[in-house]
Amino acid sequence: MTDLFSRISPDKLLPERLNAAEAAQELVRLAQEMAHHDRRYYQEDAPEISDAEYDALRHRNEAIERLFPHLVREDSPSKKVGAAPAEKFAEVVHSVPMLSLNNAFTEAEVEDFFVRVRRFLGLAEDAEIEVLCEPKIDGLSFSARYARGKFVQGSTRGDGVTGEDITENLRHIIPARCHPERSEGSPAVGDLSAMPQDDRLEVRGEVYMSRGDFDALNRRQEAEGKKIFANPRNAAAGSLRQLDSTITAARQLHYFVYGWGQVSAPLADTQSGAMERLKTAEFRVNEEARLARNVQEVMAFYTNLYEHRAELPYDIDGVVYKVNRLDYQQRLGNVGRAPRWAIAHKFPAEQGQTIVEAIAVQVGRTGALTPVAHLKPITVGGVVVARATLHNKDEIARLDVRVGDTVTIQRAGDVIPQVVSVDVEKRPADSQPFVFPETCPACGSAAFREDDDVVIRCSGGLICPAQAREHLRHFVSRNAFDIEGLGEKQVELFWEKGLIKNPADIFTLEKRQETSADPICAWKGFGDKSVENLFAGINRRRVIALERFIFALGIRHIGEGTARLLAQHYGSFGAWRVAMMAMCHPERSEGSHAEGDPSPAAQDDNAAYTALLAINGIGEIAADALRGFFVEKHNLALLDALAEEIRIQDTERPRQDSALSGKTLVFTGTLTRMTRQEAKARAERLGAKVTGSVTGNTDYVILGEDAGSKRKKAEELGVKILTEDEWLELASS
């Protein structure tokens, strides 16, 4: 595959060329970019980048985290699945988390998967591992709960822990009962009616739309002047995530079941056996699935499916391999957001050529200026694409892409492709190099680049209309203030009407409406009840947790995880603000720098700055971002205005959930009751940290057979030593 990280400056392209500070900055950038694309894909069904580009972002994030494990944060994309449920749906908490899958792109990566499984299970290097190979459907994942054979609730994957309630929509697609009615005789083999009367069954699968149904839907949409869907996946997701279930019922949607969540009795001993049992219960399972015993058989299945996928009536973007034995799956467990016992082998991206008709520069919430190529529409892999992100100024220079150029684009299932290359021989004779703007196209403020950052940003801050609107959208977003009835469309409308220009305006809106000559209730699409509900939603958010408040401010480099660290450390808004002000405005002797402009030298002697950096998980990038926010007078005025309207709750200290929470462990020697990798995974699930060397900070050393020098080191340092049985007893307490 073409290198998808060419937009990064060449000297910083490889993760191993980054130093710790650069790695921390890159991880923050990746987390922010991936969170944006998760929301666009999972909540809005309107992706902006291709699967291949997103996978490349995730691979870079994971590669950096492997090199700098101390920089891994609680809110890392490597620990997340999907995106939080959209605010328009009720939430459903999954009985068992709906995990995502790690990806493989080459045969070598598939071989590594088999090697990892054998090593984790302690099997011989040449041991066969039977796997079930299934086509990877490009649709929307769902979970469906049945009680006593009757469908009772359906939900989307959401963020893996909490999904969206789509019960009424899913009724039109999946069976109302999970087994056929029988009037006489004993149940057929595999009939789920044979389960206990209090049986529970939760099946999981993928809803999709066939290519033929997709084409027919778009023809109807076009004839009626409605939205045209970009591809079958978006059409399926948009159809299933409707508030009006009659819309879902009117569209041709299909499904395959690929697994299960909570069950009251085991379905089988193997993945294939369980799928066969679900099939006899009248669920649709994919008939293309096959068993394989080694990499050679797996690759033969993959190659055959790739060559013949155009003959399938639905879109697939790869193959999923699952360890067939369920007892092996149980032992392998999960790591982060994904199971160890399964992997998705993705197909290569598709390519095509088209012409660049224009290059526009967009301004994001953090002021990032992002160039976008507007393309002459072209169909690639059955999807019409008309735009491609050019990422940044350096990427445009590297490609030397110009208006009028013929370019090769690459996509892997979504709307926005990557520009791979420029065909210079087809370049018009009068073409001119693209000149990246030196000022913000939204507000005219100077554009600048920070240190080694590849991104050019607007310096206007909240005075920039593009940034201000994005800040407001972020402020009311789900993980920030989460104000019901005040979504992106309402924010945009109130901005244009001049009613809301900054976050504090939200909480004074109701009072200002009392004397307004143009009340909202008189606007088209509004009424007394809707306005009443809007104000009620705003008033419900006048009390907010400190960590959500900090996150809502939209300070660059301060994500949810960092906001949580700050809230836990300082405890209250008052303490946090005092510390930040002390960092930005330290007392100085005569002749020192002007107040509000602390220099690096001054920071070295600044106790508040030093204390901030001492917080585990806070680095110089985040500290400097906080300083940059608090030195701006308009930001301080905003905090004052908000403090007049809302109450920010103090933060309780985190509780210890297990006997091992917060402890540091070292395993040494050969364990007999589980592999070392299994033991480490279990310890980490209980909140412990597992290291490879014994130090004065180690709490326990667990001895296996033939323990070596680490035992002696533990005895010298007085570290408590546990046998394997003692460790298991502690882990169970």
The residues annotated as belonging to the active site are 136
Rounded CA-CA distance 642/465 in Å is 20
Closest CA to 349 of 110, 40, 2: 2
Would you call 19 helix, strand, or coil by DSSP? Answer: coil
Nearest residue to 447 (alpha-carbon basis) of 367, 391, 359, 373: 367
Give the Cα separation of 416 and 48 in Å (integer): 5
Residue listed under structure tokens 């994942």:
141
* Number of C-beta neighbours around residue 566 at 10 A: 26
Contact 235, 229 (CB under 8 A): yes
From CA 30, how far away is CA 24, in angstroms rounded? 10
DSSP string, 667-692: EESB-SSS-HHHHHHHHHHTT-EE-S
Question: What CA–CA distance (Å, rounded) separates 98 from 96?
Answer: 6
| Angle at the Cα of 527 from the Cα atoms of 530 and 168, rounded to 5 degrees | 45
Would you tell me how many other CB atoms lie within 10 Å of the CB of residue 415? 21
- Cβ–Cβ < 8 Å for 217, 210: no
User: What is the chain's Cα-based Rg?
Assistant: 28
Residues 552 and 474 sit within 8 Å (Cβ to Cβ): yes
Distance in angstroms (rounded) separating the CA atoms of residues 701 and 727: 9
Quote the CA–CA distance of 402 and 631 in Å, as a whole number. Answer: 40
Q: What are phi and psi of 87, to 5 degrees?
A: -70, -20
Six-digit token pair at 658?
Answer: 């297990």
Compute the distance between CA of residue 99 and CA of residue 163 in angstroms, rounded to an integer.
12
Token output for 51: 């699967």
Q: What is the dihedral of CA 718, 724, 725, 727, to 10 degrees?
A: 60
CA 473 from chain centre, in angstroms, equals 18
Helix axes 107-121, 676-685, angle to 10 degrees: 90
Can you say how many angstroms the Cα of residue 691 is from the centroid of all Cα atoms in its chain?
Answer: 28
Q: Is residue 289 within 8 Å of residue 133, measured between CB atoms?
A: yes
3-class secondary-structure state, position 218? helix
